[in-house]
Chain A
């Protein structure tokens, strides 16, 4: 079967399309090239004469230039997605998470700032915000304090020196303290992880 002038025109167009799509990621490039080729085939089938060169060229014109198609594929386009609001980065949200975790070390003010940012953010549901605020208030700072207290009951210098019978307790009363310390340390971390995950989900 010899290639007609119409076939040549199509081949030439598809070659140009291949070049124009060079910047498109691999699988999508193949897919799009295939879609266009299929479109051309479908359109030719509808022509009175599929080898009518003039008609085929007109069909290719209606398709648009390969450069236009490539631009549409690569370009920003008009995002059809439901508005991801102010879009852009989640810088403020990430700052909120950090402040909630460690902001308390700055006399608690950092943590409060984190809470403010948390509640002002449009990116989280109220449920997530409650988790971020209540688990746990003060974040890692509170955990730090609790851990220090828990260790303190075991490392009270007075106990070591046995001065004036301080309430040292024995090792069995240390465990609940350590358990509490562990839980209280994990909670803010888990809460931060939850907030991060929620950020990604909402995108």
Chain B
């Protein structure tokens, strides 16, 4: 595989596991409507390749009870659906955050040892 393709595949794998938690984190801080959320995610390099797939993800999170939605009047058109993280979502996020930090620390350690940095 060409180096670019290999990077893409690796990134895709990392991203896939983590994206839902990034969504939960963003929605934990404040309620957002979908397009706004996609924009916020897009601001992070490499986080979203196919913006459209965020919508199925939001639907799954909703079904799993990790986010809830509410409709809100919008000044610029029809009412918008706003998303926010539920209590269960917060719990999931906290669980992930702890694991993620431990994991990332471990990986960093191994890499440093390998390269003696």
What 0/1 readout, one digit per residue, does chain B (40-67) give for beta carbons within 8 Å of chain A?
0010000001111101110111001110
Chain B residues with CB under 8 Å of chain A are 16-17, 20, 34-35, 38, 42, 49-53, 55-57, 59-61, 64-66, 88, 91-92
Closest-by-CB residue of B relative to A13 is B52
**A38 contacts chain B at the CB level, 8 A cutoff:** yes
CB distance from A76 to the nearest CB of B (A): 10
> Given the complex, which residues of A lie within 8 Å of B60, measured CB to CB?
77, 79-80
**A32 contacts chain B at the CB level, 8 A cutoff:** yes
Q: In the complex the two chains form, is B35's CB within 8 Å of A69's CB?
A: no
Q: In the complex the two chains form, is B51's CB within 8 Å of A64's CB?
A: yes
The one of A62, A64, A80 that contacts B92, using a Cβ cutoff of 8 Å:
A80
Closest-by-CB residue of B relative to A62 is B51
Q: In the complex the two chains form, is A80's CB within 8 Å of B61's CB?
A: yes
> Given the complex, which residues of A lie within 8 Å of B42, measured CB to CB?
62
Q: In the complex the two chains form, is A64's CB within 8 Å of B61's CB?
A: no
Residue pairs across A and B with Cβ atoms less than 8 A apart, 13 shown, are A32-B55, A39-B34, A39-B52, A39-B55, A72-B53, A78-B16, A78-B17, A78-B20, A79-B64, A80-B61, A81-B64, A81-B65, A82-B64
